[in-house]
Amino acid sequence: MKKKYSVPIIIKDLKWNYGDRNVLKNINLEFERNKFYTIIGPNGSGKTTLLKNISKILFPKKECVYINEIDLITMKNKTLAQNISYVPQNTMIDFEFSVMDVVLMGRNPYMGRFQSEREEDIEIAKKAMQMTNTWKLREKNINELSGGERQRVIVARALTQDTDIIILDEPISNLDIHHQIELLDTVKFLKKDITVIAVLHDLNLAAKYSDYLILTNNGEIVQKGSPREVLTKENIEKVYSIKVNMIEDPVTGSPHIIPMSTYFNR
């Protein structure tokens, strides 16, 4: 049984450059267990780059990112895959796999080189597919699905990976409103056992579902805290360059944003 860490991710003075462009600047964060974190901010603010550093798609410098108290750079890929599952923005798959085959790929970190899936692996995959409403698609070709269906299949694969950390980069971007809520409900239910880190553009959904928001701009953290602390009229107008009105969601009590107009240079 894997040890459960109360703070599974620690980031210390993380920087990242693309050529001469400084994309991340001295990022310091801690992610606690059993919490749903959402990173928000305008396009180009470094959100996806931060996720890719945490998941070792990009390689941060030593002693910048720690996963379960281990320096990420020293962690073997198979061990990392047993700790973090990642859902990217781009869910295209080049080969003609069935949906079931794609979801079962989430069990690869636990299998030997020539080992086949066990009954236990298939049951884990089935449960993940039922949670994401993709079980009925299991025999279809992954490339015959709509973008939204494929997105849910990739989330099912991440759940099948059975990690303590799940990272989702714009997981609802291709989904209709029904499936957006369904997926976020599922992820929020799961966070009682794991750490969830997502990038969302819909600030109202981020406010409704997240325990903790991280507002970024120009590679820096503008503010972090509860939705009520982060989603203020002043912060949104400053970072997004848009006039807004703020009200309280009558059901959840979370802040709700009503965009009015862009106002700079008008």
Q: Which helix (H) or strand (E) covers residue 159, if one does?
A: helix 147-160
Q: Please provide the size of the chain in residues.
A: 266
Q: What is the DSSP string of 87-152?
A: E-S----SS--BHHHHHHGGGGGGS-TTPPPPHHHHHHHHHHHHHTT-GGGTTSBGGGS-HHHHHH
Identify whether the C-beta of residue 102 lies closer than 8 Å to the C-beta of residue 123: no
For residue range 139-178, what is the model confidence (pLDDT) as tens digits? 999 999 988 898 899 999 999 999 999 999 999 888 899 9
Range with the lowest mean pLDDT among 32-46, 124-138, 180-194?
180-194
97-113 pLDDT, tens digit per residue, is 999 999 999 999 998 77
Distances (CA, A) of 177 to 148, 173, 207: 11, 10, 16
Q: For 31-46, what is each residue's pLDDT tens digit? A: 999 999 999 999 999 9
Cα separation, 174 vs 25, in Å, equals: 30
Instruction: Name the E strands within 115-252.
Output: 165-169, 195-199, 212-217, 220-225, 242-248
